[in-house]
Chains A and B, each alone.
Chain A
Amino acid sequence: MVHRARARRRTLGIVLIWIIAILWSFPLLYMLLTSFKGEADVLPPSLWIHHPTLENYAAVLRQEFVRYFLNSAVVSLSTVAACLAFGVPVAYVVVFGKLKNSDNLFFWFLTATLFPPVAVIVPVFLLFRFAGLLDTLGGLILIYSGFNIPIVIWMTRSFLLDVPREILESADIDGSSRLRSFLFVVLPLARQGIVSTGLLVFIFVWNEFFFSINLTYVSAAPVPVYMASFMTQEGLFWAKLCAISTLVVLPPMVLGWLAQRSLVKGLTMGAVKG
């Protein structure tokens, strides 16, 4: 009797969480669905696709959208490369180095993550204007690197703390140089954490809105700027808008899905261990 009541409650809970999940992601599911509708079928809103079509995707892939997409790809990938190249060595120094003030160094970087972008936008805009960096890919890469290097240091540090010190010390005794042990001992052990840190930076940069809208206009503008300017008339071009949106959210979604477990580990460990 008790068992049956519990089983029924369990079934109810499962149904409930399925409904919640579908409602929560409904905006995205509906976006995906609409991207396969013909423009004429978009209104009134309905969950049925009368004539499924790929014409929206074919149409948007011929448009200027591709250029914005490439800008986003170049900026995101370059920023990830720069952040890892600059940030990982710092995390290594903080964890394994012999600096007396390595804690101060770490906290200096940590405070940089606390400042909101609005704290710097006015001088950065003026600087970019005088240095000719407005509306350039290089300018965006520079600003994104500055804001994401601290995140890389923070997360990589917590993954490096997991690497046993003894391994490094035994490598020392073997007489291998620090650079060699960094490249061939520490990096492979922390590889998964470093990769997921890179994925997190990619997602942040790919999705970033504030700097891209204020520092680029046309030639270096990434996808978010294009989306913001995609002003449709009421009910017009919604299917194409949905096709573009689907293409745009796909990369971060896939990467985020791949990295979710180590992301949580990096974020919580860094904070719990302080």
Chain B
Amino acid sequence: MDDELRRRRSRFLSLPAILVVAVVTQAPILATLGLSLIRWIVIRPDLGITFIGLDNYAELFSSRDFYEVVLNTVVITVVSLAVCTALGILFGLMLNHDFPGVNIVRTLIISPFFVMDAVAGIVWRTMLLNSSFGWNGYFASLLGVGPFDFFGVHSLLTITVLIVWQWTPFFVLILLAGFQNIPPEILDSARVDGIGWLKELVFIRLPVIMNHIEVAVLLGLIFVLKAFGLIFVTTRGGPGYSSANLPYYVYKTAFLGWDVGHAAAVAVVTVAITLIAIVALFRWFRRRIVEAA
């Protein structure tokens, strides 16, 4: 009796949260699936709203822009996560010592993570990378060369660099905690055995903090895949689609082209790619653990 009452109360306690999350995330995802099957261009009311089955997807998979955007998304994600992991390990190792000002140094390195996309993008775009008035132009004229073309041919690189700048701090936070958690006895016994610094890192430290690396990469993947603000504020996905990722493509189709069905189809594909990437990465991590066991 008591248990039954408690169970009912438990259900009652979780109801509000379930309701809000269902209304805001789960139901709209189903609606997105439905919308991806219709043609509805808001700024062309004369065309009406019609059911067209999988035509939006067919159109999508035959468009070159789409493949360019998918490729950009993959490049941004893979490159930035790899660089973030490497730098996270490097900075984490360096910060795992006691030295004068270590707290200040850590705070300085971590701070970009807490800066909103809108500010990060605008500061980089105007004061640093601007080819005539920013530091970019300043150094170019100092060296007597042309300024680096951050927003033209190299726009994808620019976006990747900004994401690395923003997300490395997150990796440092997590990996540093991992390094600090390593029991000193493990390292002591390794030192008695007299193994070198690099061997110690590769064979002892990194395997021990593997869980932390996995957490950082998985969460990083989720966040980098939905990067939007930095692109919006700096390159607007351009020139053309050269620096657009999937979220930006959805935004452009939905709110600049007002093509509801097409935008929904891209959103569905984005979700599919996101889930596949997360599951694949997760499986890979699990298998590594099974093999190690």
A75-116 at interface with B (beta carbon < 8 Å): 82, 86-87, 89-90, 92-93, 97-99, 102, 105, 108-109, 112-116
Question: Is A209 a contact partner of B232 (Cβ separation < 8 A)?
Answer: yes
A69 at the B interface (CB under 8 A): no
Question: Is B25 a contact partner of A230 (Cβ separation < 8 A)?
Answer: no
Question: Is B133 a contact partner of A43 (Cβ separation < 8 A)?
Answer: yes
Q: Indicate the member of B6, B25, B91, B211 with the most A CB atoms within 10 Å.
A: B25
Question: Is A272 a contact partner of B211 (Cβ separation < 8 A)?
Answer: yes
Question: Is A123 a contact partner of B138 (Cβ separation < 8 A)?
Answer: no
A214-238 at interface with B (beta carbon < 8 Å): 214, 223-225, 227-228, 230, 232, 234-235, 238
1/0 per residue B224-237: CB within 8 Å of A? 01101100110000
B20 at the A interface (CB under 8 A): yes
Q: Which of A27-35, A51-59, A163-171, A185-193 contacts B (4 or more CB under 8 A)?
A: A27-35
Partner of B260 from the list A16, A120, A122, A225 (CB cut-off 8 Å) is A122
Q: Indicate the member of B13, B128, B212, B274 with the most A CB atoms within 10 Å.
A: B13
Question: Is B117 a contact partner of A207 (Cβ separation < 8 A)?
Answer: yes
Instruction: Name which residue of chain A comes closest to B120, CB basis.
Output: A27
Partner of A122 from the list B110, B222, B263 (CB cut-off 8 Å) is B263
Partner of B23 from the list A21, A44, A125, A146 (CB cut-off 8 Å) is A146
A256 at the B interface (CB under 8 A): yes
Question: Is A210 a contact partner of B247 (Cβ separation < 8 A)?
Answer: yes
1/0 per residue A115-134: CB within 8 Å of B? 11111111111110000000
Question: Is B229 a contact partner of A224 (Cβ separation < 8 A)?
Answer: yes
B186 at the A interface (CB under 8 A): no
Interface residues on chain B, number (Cβ under 8 Å): 95
How far is it, in angstroms, between the C-alpha of A93 and the C-alpha of B178 when the chains are bound?
30
B135 at the A interface (CB under 8 A): yes
Instruction: Name which residue of chain A comes closest to B134, CB basis.
Output: A45
Question: Is A123 a contact partner of B20 (Cβ separation < 8 A)?
Answer: no
Question: Is B130 a contact partner of A18 (Cβ separation < 8 A)?
Answer: no
B127 at the A interface (CB under 8 A): yes
B16-40 at interface with A (beta carbon < 8 Å): 16-18, 20-21, 23-29, 31-32, 35
Instruction: Name which residue of chain A comes closest to B141, CB basis.
Output: A44
Question: Is A253 a contact partner of B114 (Cβ separation < 8 A)?
Answer: yes
Q: Which of B57-65, B101-109, B143-151, B188-196 contacts A (4 or more CB under 8 A)?
A: B101-109
A180 at the B interface (CB under 8 A): no
Instruction: Name which residue of chain A comes closest to B172, CB basis.
Output: A24
* B residues less than 8 Å from A224 (CB atoms): 116-118, 229
B71 to chain A, nearest CB (A): 18
A213 at the B interface (CB under 8 A): yes
Instruction: Name which residue of chain A comes closest to B261, CB basis.
Output: A122
Question: Is B13 a contact partner of A120 (Cβ separation < 8 A)?
Answer: no
1/0 per residue A1-21: CB within 8 Å of B? 000000000100110111011
* B residues less than 8 Å from A228 (CB atoms): 118, 122, 232-233
B171-224 at interface with A (beta carbon < 8 Å): 173-174, 177-178, 211-212, 214-215, 218-219, 222
Partner of A119 from the list B13, B135, B233, B271 (CB cut-off 8 Å) is B271
* A residues less than 8 Å from B3 (CB atoms): 98
A63 at the B interface (CB under 8 A): no
A71 at the B interface (CB under 8 A): no
A196 at the B interface (CB under 8 A): no
* A residues less than 8 Å from B174 (CB atoms): 264, 267-268
How far is it, in angstroms, between the C-alpha of A271 and the C-alpha of B281 when the chains are bound?
14
How far is it, in angstroms, between the C-alpha of A93 and the C-alpha of B7 when the chains are bound?
9
5 sample A-B contacts, Cβ–Cβ < 8 Å, listed by A number: A13-B97, A18-B101, A90-B17, A99-B10, A253-B114
The 5 closest A-B pairs by CB, nearest first: A146-B24, A209-B229, A120-B28, A123-B31, A227-B118
Q: 19 additional contacts, CB 8 Å, given A120-B29, A227-B233?
A: A13-B97, A17-B105, A25-B108, A30-B123, A89-B14, A112-B25, A112-B26, A117-B247, A118-B266, A119-B268, A123-B27, A127-B28, A206-B116, A209-B117, A223-B118, A253-B114, A257-B110, A264-B177, A271-B218
